[in-house]
Structure 1
């Protein structure tokens, strides 16, 4: 027989979106449970080594994501787990935010305990019990058997829209023309990197790096990221379908995070495709490591220090919501009356089949609004989405999928879930102005 647990709000997915959703809900006084399949929190930020967090600011440097996300950064800083927001020396965005994944894992658990949230790890959601247009419960498989988790309001922060899919809510996947998704990446870290050599080579060969690299400031500011080494990559012969080397520094002084592998044409929701992707990704890690050590300045004495627990997923399913954010909304910096989060991250589409990245900046004040309607799936009335699986087009997902944006929509979804429970209504019928007031009280930027 299934063991039964009950809560007011049930959050599925312990990544940054789910953590912030559970924190927001718990702090509002709702009895909250957070379900996570791994034995630790952090989602792609820890399991897949997605690093650093990009970005809390607009291109001009205005901070548009604060709230719980900023609180986490500050608490990481207090314990030496982050230097805070630093200038992006790639030049793609204004700031990046390095963090120590092990410190983040523990801090998240401590904050959830402070908020009274019950956490269940090693728990895989595989069924939704639906009655009419409501989820009555979800089923999880655990080491100690099956559990039924009953709730009033559910938040899908799984990244893959798992709860929405299992409950019968309509979802989309990939680009509209052929369903293909942005590639997966197996990220890895190397230590023993001489970053002074890297910087010296960049200053001597600026033509070999991304055109927005801030060379004029590079002697004064710490190196946080590098995109380029075009000449070496073009001559490398490494069979990875991309056009440049990309890595970010930290968290240790001689350490970098390599974002160079690329696995295309496979489905991140298909177990056989995922099995193949993990093998391909790890083979590419070894190829990249040997290339970097033999051809790139500063890497001759480096070695692999960590590889992702799983391959990084940029795109799978997303909900079909009351509104789908479009690339026009993003690029034009559109404002919405029901805004619940903002973002200054530009469009960043990793080509599903080609080598490159399609990028587009945000007009106006450099930020766009994410409306509450993007969090509301069709058909299922007591469900909200947060993070990577909110309602967008394929192109708009290329900005909303970034971690700070996911943190912001997570806080919005958790707050909305608590309000819906406390007001004895459904998310679609809550007073959005009340939601916005609560978010502003919690230091969110709207």
Structure 2
């Protein structure tokens, strides 16, 4: 095994953002290495069972995320790995996108190979070498020992801003006043669910469910998502600090993904606390499954079919970038001359200490811009960030962290890094923004 690799663009983290970054950079002609700690790609979508993807659309139904992300959905549909974009029957967003995680794992690697990307799996970055604000290389630890990977441009798609942190770039964590982060969730699947009984329960007692639920359309639409069962939750007194039941259907006809566990007060970048969070999350999975079997219509014969390989992380460390996206930017649907992605997902802020979720919806067009400055960290000059660890406030992160938005910022980062290589621009901050936006538009990105 070689102990040294080199490429134009080095992407660290093979989740949705990293996949789109690597594919985009490769398609622009750059040589690319993608580094992933697991033996498979997909990040939170596969390792933590974060499902479904939501949302590619505004509340009014306009699709604002396309590009590589939409190509992934289309190609999944071709092989039976997704039904495409379906209406969100909770009514929180316009659409959600179910997908088969196992098919996605295979498709993603195929697309990486098509783009000429070299994947180094089972590899964990634990050291970053910087000289005069320029990353020279990253060092991997894995089964083959220590490996050095050299590059010209680096993209941090670790979700936790690991590379930025190790490189000495400015990072922040949690909310401004106390550093507390949104809770983590151990997600799990159940099979053997009678969804017709669930649908009937919603129709029989609408007041027991989220008020934006599409009650009038349930007979015509596939049941994709359920939020509520308030009375059952209150009666059961499950010792989990939340106030309702939330699950999503599919991909099988008798299958749901349960998003109900809640682990608070833990730091996902501290290995001791992350270990404790995993333990607590798995205990809560068993509590939730038993509660659903005993209390929720349609679940009497259901059982756990899978649990995430790791706990789902909503928030940890993120870069302090040239621009910090705020909740005002999101809610007011602000446009920016350096916008490199759009999103229509509302603010979905899970309380770091309490039971609730604070929602804020986007005004006007129903979408906001993510500026290029949110991808550029302070302190390191040849590094971009994409996905969950871009530069935002605690509140704004509650929308940018969603998978389609991460895919969009990933594509932008990969395109920018490749463009820097092609134009001999040493620093990503110096990339011609109009040229970058033009290249993104040609890739069917909505700007």
Q: TM-score, normalised by structure 1?
A: 0.99
Partner SS for 1:26:
helix
Aligned to 1:332: 332
Following TM superposition, by how much is the alpha carbon of 1:2 offset from its aligned partner in structure 2, in angstroms?
8.0
Tell me if the contact between 1:206 and 1:215 (Cα under 8 Å) persists in the aligned partners.
yes
Paired position in structure 2 for 1:40: 40
Do structure 1's residue 141 and structure 2's residue 138 form an aligned pair? no
- Where has structure 1 moved over 2 Å in runs of 4 or more? none
Contact 1:2 1:146 in 2 (8 A): no
Q: Deviations over 1:221-278 (max 9, x none)?
A: 0000000000000111110000000000001000000000000000000000011001
Alignment partner, residue 436 of structure 1: 437
Gaps of 5+ in 1: none
Whole-angstrom distance in 2 between the partners of 1:109 and 1:68: 14
1:14-413 equivalences under 5 Å are 14-413=14-413
1:391, 1:279 → 2: CA distance? 30
Task: Mark the runs of 5 or more structure 2 residues left unpaired by the alignment.
Answer: none
Cα shift at 1:379: 1.0
2:150 partner SS: strand
Question: What is the rounded CA distance, in whole Å, between the counterparts of 2:395 and 2:2 in structure 1?
Answer: 41
CA offsets, 1:306-343, max 9 Å, x none? 00000000000000000000000000000000010000
Q: Secondary structure at the match of 2:366?
A: coil
Alignment partners' CA distance in 1, 2:264 and 2:328: 26
Alpha-carbon contact 1:65-1:342 (below 8 Å) kept: yes
Q: Determine if contact 1:16/1:45 at 8 Å carries over to the other structure.
A: yes
CA–CA distance in 2 between the matches of 1:201 and 1:321? 47
CA contact (8 A) 1:2 1:145 kept: no
Distance in 2 (alpha carbons) for counterparts of 1:191 and 1:399: 30
Q: Distance in 2 between matches of 1:170 and 1:16?
A: 24
Q: Considering only aligned residues, what root-mean-square deviation do their CA atoms show, in Å?
A: 0.8
Q: 1:348–1:360: 8 Å Cα contact kept in structure 2?
A: yes
Shift in Å, 1:394? 0.3
Q: Describe the SS at the equivalent of 1:222.
A: coil
For 2:278 and 2:349, the matched residues in 1 are separated by 22
Secondary structure at 2:91's aligned position in 1? coil
Number of matched residues? 446
* Structure-2 separation of matches of 1:110 and 1:236: 46
Distance between the aligned counterparts of 1:114 and 1:21, measured in 2? 14
SS at match of 1:273: helix
CA contact (8 A) 1:374 1:391 kept: yes
CA distance in structure 2 between the partners assigned to 1:310 and 1:14 by the alignment: 15
* Counterpart Cα distance in 1 of 2:290 and 2:3: 50
Normalised TM-score (structure 2): 0.99
Shift of 1:354: 0.2
Distance (whole Å) between structure 1 residues aligned to residue 321 and residue 145 of structure 2: 34
